[in-house]
Structure 1
């Protein structure tokens, strides 16, 4: 977790890679890294996603690679064996949380209510995903959570964009923001990885205006 936190302090953005082709997954990860984002989340929304995540891990680049959209304990075990260095879920599942805590594997379960955040805290988690951020109350809701759950840090994802990135990152209890705007499907399908790198650079520059 220390290495992950250090990376996120330097560039507090986690881009989502949603790709079924392993070669395109690797090329996308490299393009993001070139733009200054070395922590990536590969979402398991297609049959080829796991192979793509493993290919990124095997490429030997200095990336921290996580698995997203992990729904079951079996998936959690599978992605861990495949090399995932952190796990992200759309919701909070106690069984996955306990597995990750036992394995020392960073876990970011999706939360959107005070009850879910409190449950995560009771389980021993101190970092959670706030999802879907724009629909769950956005910045005002996170401000309210921060005043109550003072040890918790949040990763808002869902509806985060260049237009509101700095608002989220201005909150001291926001660890990082996750987002798919950095990996546009049209550009990746066309092999336009320069666009991905440019979007990553833009995001890093925006983050630096708030975090330095």
Structure 2
């Protein structure tokens, strides 16, 4: 099967859960709970010692899911994510070294931007799928709307402080098909291994863009 582009991956889901994994033992069950709820694209952040093991367990449990790795800050982080099998990478920003590594590897990548200048810098590197961060709830929807006429070829995925009530304002924009958020997998539900509850939240997230 031909690998999906990043834009095709994002189009698979209206909400991309952002996951912090402290215990990889439950990663496979979590991935299955999300997929059971209709969410097949999610990001595991590289902020804990268990993140790489969790990513690998999720990929094995849900092979059709597109699972990325986030908080990639350096070329070394990018290489770690690639070797772990991540389908794409995510970062809060973009440095020249990281941009060069993305170009060299052709790894699908979602770098963070917060200004028009940063959009221009990423776009000059051929990166046209960008994370708008921090979105600060619904506040970022107007910014993304304003960018549509200036950068009509850029697709934004906002993250940071977005709650369910904010999502329709984003998904109504032509240059935003996906939002990121951690609310789909609350840490208390994950700690309790409440897979049914997480599946229900995934179904709620999926419903923002019905099939």
What TM-score comes out, normalization by structure 2 length? Answer: 0.92
Correspondent of 1:157 among 147, 156, 159: 159
Find out whether 1:43 has 2:48 as its counterpart.
no
Runs of 4+ in 1 over 4 A off after TM superposition: none
User: Shift of residue 135 of structure 1?
Assistant: 7.0
What TM-score comes out, normalization by structure 1 length? Answer: 0.92
What is the aligned partner in structure 2 of residue 119 from structure 1?
A: 121
Find out whether 1:168 has 2:170 as its counterpart.
yes
Unpaired runs of 5+ residues, structure 2, are: none
Cα-Cα RMSD: 1.8
Distance 1:168 1:72 in 2: 29
Distance 1:3 1:124 in 2: 13
Unpaired runs of 5+ residues, structure 1, are: none
Distance 2:152 2:89 in 1: 23
Residue pair 1:108, 1:128 contacting (<8 A) in 2 also: yes
User: Shift of residue 7 of structure 1?
Assistant: 4.5
Distance 2:200 2:138 in 1: 29
Find out whether 1:58 has 2:53 as its counterpart.
no
Superposed CA offset, 1:80-132 (max 9, x none):
01101100001112322232233221111110111111100111111110001
Residue pair 1:166, 1:207 contacting (<8 A) in 2 also: no
What is the aligned partner in structure 1 of residue 85 from structure 2?
A: 83
